[in-house]
Chain A
């Protein structure tokens, strides 16, 4: 999927925008996120995931070919942490199984009555 397909999707589903306006508004979404991240802020999209800027300290790396140590300067990097909702969408069976396991565990706890240490 490319930006063009996202633009088509906005054009078809939101309605009321020309193709050109759809392109501009999708551009506005990504530009806004870019500018926010450039300032060092994070972008949290519930149901999708979080984009977080992390500060990396200077460390010693190594040229993998020569084995020669070289310093890697301190830098800021962008990381993406997918939301649990997105992970569940990608793993429907696993999400279902977990739910069942949790329900079973809760039921066992309710009936089991383990004598606690007190």
Chain B
């Protein structure tokens, strides 16, 4: 699913126009990007959380040439999947791990 397919799906689901759905989806990811830019974490219950991890400068290697290069310090976003989504992805239900729990 791409962003435009997500917009289409949200527009149908919420019975709003595609352009409104596009504004909403952009607004959601813009807000999340801005939070990460501030170094702030994001927590979405039932989905997961994002944190910003700081990495110090280290000596790496160009994997193609094997040449030593210094990798400057950087910040990277890190996503930790939430319990509910983790279970859903693994074929479980929203309210439990793996095979336990009834539907609904």
Contacts and interface: CB of A to CB of B under 8 A. Distances in A.
A32 to B, nearest CB: 5
Contacts of B42: 1-2
Interface in A20-71: 24-26, 28-34, 36-38, 40-49, 51, 53
Given A10-B28, A14-B23, A33-B47, 20 more contacts: A1-B43, A2-B45, A6-B31, A14-B27, A26-B28, A29-B6, A31-B13, A42-B1, A45-B6, A48-B29, A49-B79, A75-B90, A76-B89, A76-B91, A77-B89, A78-B86, A86-B36, A89-B36, A94-B72, A94-B74
Given A25-B16, A28-B13, A48 B74 contact: no
23 contacts: A1-B31, A2-B42, A3-B45, A5-B31, A9-B28, A9-B31, A10-B31, A13-B27, A14-B27, A24-B14, A28-B13, A29-B10, A31-B13, A45-B6, A49-B77, A51-B79, A53-B89, A78-B86, A80-B77, A87-B74, A89-B33, A90-B36, A90-B77
A6 B44 CA distance: 10
B10 A38 contact: no
Interface of A: 1-3, 5-6, 9-10, 13-14, 16, 24-26, 28-34, 36-38, 40-49, 51, 53, 75-80, 82, 86-87, 89-91, 94, 97
A41 B1 contact: yes
A43 B29 contact: no
Contact of B2 (A16, A28, A31, A44): A44
Interface in B44-103: 44-48, 52, 72, 74-79, 81, 84-86, 88-91
A4 to B, nearest CB: 10
A73 to B, nearest CB: 9
A34 B46 contact: yes
A59 to B, nearest CB: 15
A6 B24 contact: no
